[in-house]
Amino acid sequence: MNRHESREQAFAFLFERSFKNETLDEIIESAKSVRELEVSSFAKELFTGVMEKKDIIDKIINESLIGWKMNRISKVAATILRIATYEIMFVDNIPASVSIDEAVKIAKIYGTEEDSSFINGILSGINKKLESVNE
């Protein structure tokens, strides 16, 4: 499974988690009962990382949502933003541009027509903010 597929898998798990208060193992078991499922280690890493750092991730996303709040954006957009923000902030071996590009691709598949440009703008702002802090 490549990283794009792993990101989609992590997206599906985290999206489901936004509706149910279940652990990753419970979500995986539920998915396995419906279909054969091979879970990637990168998808698990993303799920676990986003859940562990959710408060930090949501804080930086909220600071970048000018005129919006997390509870006003779709669960699809929020989930994609969380995954990409986690990658940008905490996964050192992936360039931010790759994380942003992957988030936009996933938004084009699962989101609305406007989600991809919205997500691109928010993540670009987050990346610029983090780059200026790190300089």
The one-letter amino acid code at 59 reads K
pLDDT over 90, % of the chain: 68
pLDDT in tens, 92-107: 999 999 999 999 999 9
Q: Specify the length of the chain in residues.
A: 135
What are the two backbone dihedrals, phi and then psi, of residue 2, each rounded to the nearest 5 degrees? Answer: -85, 175
Q: Residue 93 sits in a domain of what CATH number?
A: 1.10.940.10
Neighbours of 96 (CB within 10 A): 20
| Tokens 């193992």, located at residue | 25
What range does the domain containing 125 cover? 3-134
- Give the chain's domain count: 1
Answer whether residue 24 shows pLDDT above 70: yes
Put simply, whether the predicted model's pTM sits higher than 0.75 gets the answer: yes
- Residue 67 gets the label, from left (phi > 0), alpha (psi -120 to 50) or beta, of left
pLDDT at position 47 is 93
Cα distances (Å, whole numbers) of residue 15 to 22, 44, 100, 132: 11, 14, 18, 31
Residue 135 banded pLDDT, cuts 50, 70, 90: low
